[in-house]
Copies of this chain bind each other. A is one copy, B any other.
Amino acid sequence: MQAASGVLTPALQVQLTALIRALGLLEAERTPCGQPLSPSAAHAILELGRGEALSLGDLGSRLRLEKSTVSRLVGQLEARGWVDRRRAQHDGRLLRLSLTEAGQQMAERVATSRATFFAQLYDRIPPHRRAAVLETLELLVEAVDATR
């Protein structure tokens, strides 16, 4: 990736991801990162990679997916050895999801792939328009969310 991208690339990534989730369009991303993962699996691992242990509901609301979907999704990630799925001690109803060693490595790979993808996208936007694009995407996400 070119050095041209600069520090605003992460912001584009965040904003576009937010837009996608806001619109409820998560599913169709067609894994642009080139990793052997479904789009939602990539998002889940990325979210879990943030560090804090999440419950199924937490993960679901962040990904904007149904809890049933997330349940099956996590089941696959666990089967692949990337996620650790434990019951919370203080409350037997909640699940305490976290990444395994292998899961964290995958999270890093996904993060890198994503960064590259978004950097390419960013490079294709005229430099003097970039700031406006980011600001505007934020407005859109807000507007879409408000419409619900």
CA distance in complex: A67, B143 (Å): 33
A129 in contact with B139 (CB, 8 Å)? yes
Partner of A29, one of B25, B122, B133, B143: B25
CA distance in complex: A126, B117 (Å): 30
CA distance in complex: A132, B137 (Å): 10
Query: A126-B139, A136-B137 known; A147 and B23 CB under 8 Å?
Result: no
**A124 in contact (CB, < 8 A):** yes
Give A109-135 interface residues, CB cut-off 8 Å to B: 117, 120-122, 124-126, 129, 132-133, 135
B147 in contact with A139 (CB, 8 Å)? no
Partner of A135, one of B25, B120, B129: B129
Output the least CB separation between A24 and chain B (Å): 5
Output the least CB separation between A2 and chain B (Å): 14
Partner of A23, one of B28, B129, B135, B140: B28
Could you list 14 A-B pairs, sorted by A, with CB under 8 Å? Answer: A16-B140, A25-B25, A25-B29, A27-B28, A121-B140, A121-B143, A121-B144, A124-B143, A125-B143, A126-B139, A129-B139, A132-B136, A133-B140, A136-B140
